[in-house]
Each structure stands twice: as structure tokens, then as C-alpha cells.
Amino acid sequence: MLTTSATSGIVVVEGTVKDGLKTLSIPGSRVRPVFYDMVFESYRAVPGGRGRFAWMVDRSDVQIVPFVLEDEAGRMWINGERDHVLVKGGWIERGTIGKKAVGRFAARMISPGDKVRVRGEVYEPRRAPVERGVRATKERPLEILFRAHGEPPPDDPAAPEAGRQKGGGKSR
């Protein structure tokens, strides 16, 4: 079944990502995604490198927040917990951190306006903005497949100058 009109069982739904109750923030970026897989680096001396400097990884992070998926049949609450979700694809944004650009990031993300396909179990969520949702099962993670980069919602003040770079749906 490929519709948000599904009422029970394991389903595959495809639609446009809408804001949920909150979005994520990335230092140095104006984009407010619902998912990111990111690496932060800084330009610093290489340990034991005799004065050589290089870009070195400071940390990596994966985050996801629940969001609404909308298609022509309606809306579904997509609830993926970081340890029980498998995200394939996304678009890439790169940017600098700090006034002197001593840090940088590269993030694979999914944001409002993007098209995705989600596979999981239908359920009735509590305290969600819609009546039905999709989540992981006990046996399988929630699967989210990035389909296409979309336009951010018109009420997004960062939309015109977001500086997005399309990643062609490739993942790391």
C-alpha cells in the first residue's frame, strides 16, 4: 500500500516532509532539517605532526525528530528513534563554523519540502498533530528512503538564502 490512507499493518508511504512539533539546528546552517548525519571538523595542528595543520574530525552526530508526511490522501506522523531508524540518501550541505571559519561541517539531511518514502508499522500516536503514524516494529527499523530534494515551506525565513547544495541523493 502506497498511501497515507493506510490504517493498519506494515505499510510503505510516500509524500512530502512537513514540520512536526520541532526541527533540528546545525551551527553554521540556516536549514532546519528533521534528520541529519553530520561531521564537524576543525583546522588544527596534527598531533606529532611537527607543526603541520590539517582538517581533523571533532565529532560526528546523527539526529532525527518526528515529522509529518503528507500525500494526496492525507497526513501521517513519522516517528523514528535514532537507534531504530535506517535513512537512505539525503541531500548534502556543507558550511563553515565560526567567524574566522576555523570549523566546517558536512551534513546529509532531510528537511521540510523533501520527498521521502517510509516503511514501517501503522499506529495511533498519542499527543501528535495527526491521527495515524508510522513507526519501527520490534523486528525491523523504520526505513526512510530519500526520493527528491524539495522546496522549503514558504514560511521558512531562511529559504531564499539557505545556500543549499544538492547531494544527488547520495549517502556516505
Q: What's the pLDDT at 110?
A: 97
C-alpha dist (Å) from residue 157 to 153, 160, 166: 9, 8, 20
Give the integer Cα–Cα distance in Å for 167 and 170.
Answer: 6
DSSP bridge pairs for 13 = 118
- Residue 12: per-residue pLDDT: 92
The predicted structure's pLDDT at residue 49 = 75
Contact 112, 18 (CB under 8 A): yes
pLDDT per residue over 40-85, tens digit each?
A: 999 888 888 788 888 899 999 999 999 999 998 889 999 988 899 9
User: Is the distance from CB of 40 to CB of 57 less than 8 angstroms?
Assistant: yes
pTM reported for the whole predicted model: 0.81
Q: What does the alpha-carbon distance between residue 146 and residue 62 come to, in Å, rounded to a whole number?
A: 16
> DSSP state, 17?
E
Length of the chain: 172
**Residue 119, C-alpha cell as written in the block:** 516503511
What pLDDT does residue 166 have?
41
- Segments of the chain scoring below 70 in pLDDT: 1-6, 101, 153-172
Tell me how far apart the alpha carbons of residues 77 and 132 are, in angstroms, rounded to a whole number. Answer: 6
